[in-house]
């Protein structure tokens, strides 16, 4: 039982060369972290939009009714928070106690990406591995899960209009 409880304890996790006492579920509203996360997110989504606009199999962006967009955005927020709490809030710091940042981030995403096949059982869902690497890096860089939640949520919002439908 003690080993299980250790999974939820505070630990010393290296964050960009500094040792500090952090909780795996730590959320900190640091202006610098949020601004940098928004810049990284904008750059990533601009690249993805360029790819989506030349996607050969369908006409993007999708046209969706406003009420559907609101429901999808709420769903995207809930998914982002829940997934980031589990993957970057618990799993990544747990692995980080024993392994390097790179190994921990990659290992988490080897679980994260295939689980997206449950909601969308199409191989394109496995591409979530790559934004997952960015979310893992954000968690490692800033020592808390808020930047990865922001990135994840905005990625989910982007997907409402630009994610290619595999149907």
Of 6-20, 89-103, 111-125, the least confident: 6-20
Of 9-13, 83-87, 108-112, 142-146, the least confident: 9-13
Integer Cα distance of 144 and 92 in angstroms? 11
What is the overall mean pLDDT for the chain?
A: 84
DSSP bridge pairs for 19: 14
Integer Cα distance of 77 and 72 in angstroms? 9
Phi-psi region of 63 (alpha: psi -120 to 50; beta: other; left: phi over 0): beta
Integer Cα distance of 15 and 126 in angstroms? 28
Q: Between 5 and 103, name the one with better pLDDT.
A: 103
Q: How confident is the model at residue 119 (pLDDT cuts 50, 70, 90)?
A: confident
- pLDDT digits over 65-114, tens only? 889 889 999 999 999 999 999 999 999 999 999 999 999 999 999 999 99
Please give the average per-residue pLDDT across 147-153, as a whole number. Answer: 97
The answer on pLDDT for 22 being more than 80 is no
Q: How many CA atoms lie within 13 A of 67 on its CB side?
A: 0
The answer on pLDDT for 41 being more than 90 is yes
Contact 157, 44 (CB under 8 A): no
- Asked if omega into 61 is within 30° of 0 (cis), the reply is yes
Q: What are the distances in angstroms from CA 120 to CA 2, 41, 123?
A: 37, 23, 9
Judge if pTM exceeds 0.85: no
Q: How confident is the model at residue 23 (pLDDT cuts 50, 70, 90)?
A: low
Exposed, middle or buried by CB within 10 Å (0-12, 13-18, 19+), for 141?
middle
Q: How confident is the model at residue 7 (pLDDT cuts 50, 70, 90)?
A: very low
């Amino acid at each position: 039982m003690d080993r299980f409880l250790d999974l939820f304890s505070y630990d010393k996790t290296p964050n960009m060369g500094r040792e500090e006492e952090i909780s795996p579920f730590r959320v900190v509203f640091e202006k610098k972290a949020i601004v940098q996360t928004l810049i990284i997110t904008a750059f990533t989504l601009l690249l993805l939009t360029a790819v989506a606009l030349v996607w050969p199999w369908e006409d993007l962006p999708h046209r969706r009714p406003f009420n559907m967009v609101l429901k999808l955005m709420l769903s995207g927020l809930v998914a982002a928070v829940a997934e980031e709490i589990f993957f970057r809030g618990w799993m990544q710091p747990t692995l980080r106690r024993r392994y390097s940042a790179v190994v921990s981030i990659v290992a988490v995403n080897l679980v994260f990406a295939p689980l997206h096949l449950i909601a969308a059982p199409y191989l394109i869902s496995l591409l979530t591995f790559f934004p997952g690497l960015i979310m893992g890096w954000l968690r490692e860089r800033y020592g808390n899960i808020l930047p990865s939640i922001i990135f994840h949520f905005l990625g989910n919002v982007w997907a409402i209009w630009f994610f290619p439908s595999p149907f």
